[in-house]
Amino acid sequence: MTITQDSTAPLVAVVGATGIQGGSVVKALAESDKPYRIRGLTRDATKPAAQALVAQGVEVVTVEIVVENKDAVIKAFSGANAVFLVTAYMVHADAARETAEGKMMIDAAKAAGVEHIVWSGLPAVRKLSGGAVQNVLNFDSKAEVTEHGFQSGVPFVNIQAGFYDTNFVGWAAPTKKADGSLVIRLAVRPTTRFPMIYAEEDYGLYVRRALEAPVFPNGAEVLTGEYITGEDMVRQLAEVTGKQITFEQISLEQLEKEFSAVMPPPLVATFVDAMKWADEFGYYGGAPTTSLEGLGRTPKSWKQFCQIADWSKFLA
* Mean pLDDT across 55-69: 96
Q: What are the DSSP calls for 146-215, one per residue? A: HHHHHTSSS-EEEEE--EEGGGGGTTT--EE-TTS-EEEEESS-TT-EEEEE-HHHHHHHHHHHHHHSSS
| Integer Cα distance of 128 and 306 in angstroms | 32
| Integer Cα distance of 316 and 303 in angstroms | 20
Question: Residue 19 CB: number of other CB atoms within 10 A?
Answer: 19
- pLDDT tens track for 15-36: 999 999 999 999 999 999 999 9
pLDDT of 64 higher than 70: yes
pLDDT of 1 higher than 80: no
- pLDDT tens track for 275-304: 999 999 999 999 999 999 999 999 999 999
Residue 266's pLDDT is 86
Question: Residue 253 CB: number of other CB atoms within 10 A?
Answer: 10
Q: Provide the CA 160 distance to its chain's centre, in angstroms.
A: 7
- Quick one: which of 226, 159, 202 has its CA closest to 297? 202
Task: Please name the amino acid found at residue 197.
Answer: I
Q: Taking all residues of the chain, what is their mean pLDDT, rounded to a whole number?
A: 96
- pLDDT tens track for 99-134: 999 999 999 999 999 999 999 999 999 999 999 999
Q: Which residue has the higher pLDDT, 212 or 178?
A: 212
| Integer Cα distance of 273 and 66 in angstroms | 27
% residues pLDDT > 70 (the chain):
100
- pLDDT tens track for 69-82: 999 999 999 999 99
List the beta bridge partners of residue 84. Answer: 14, 118
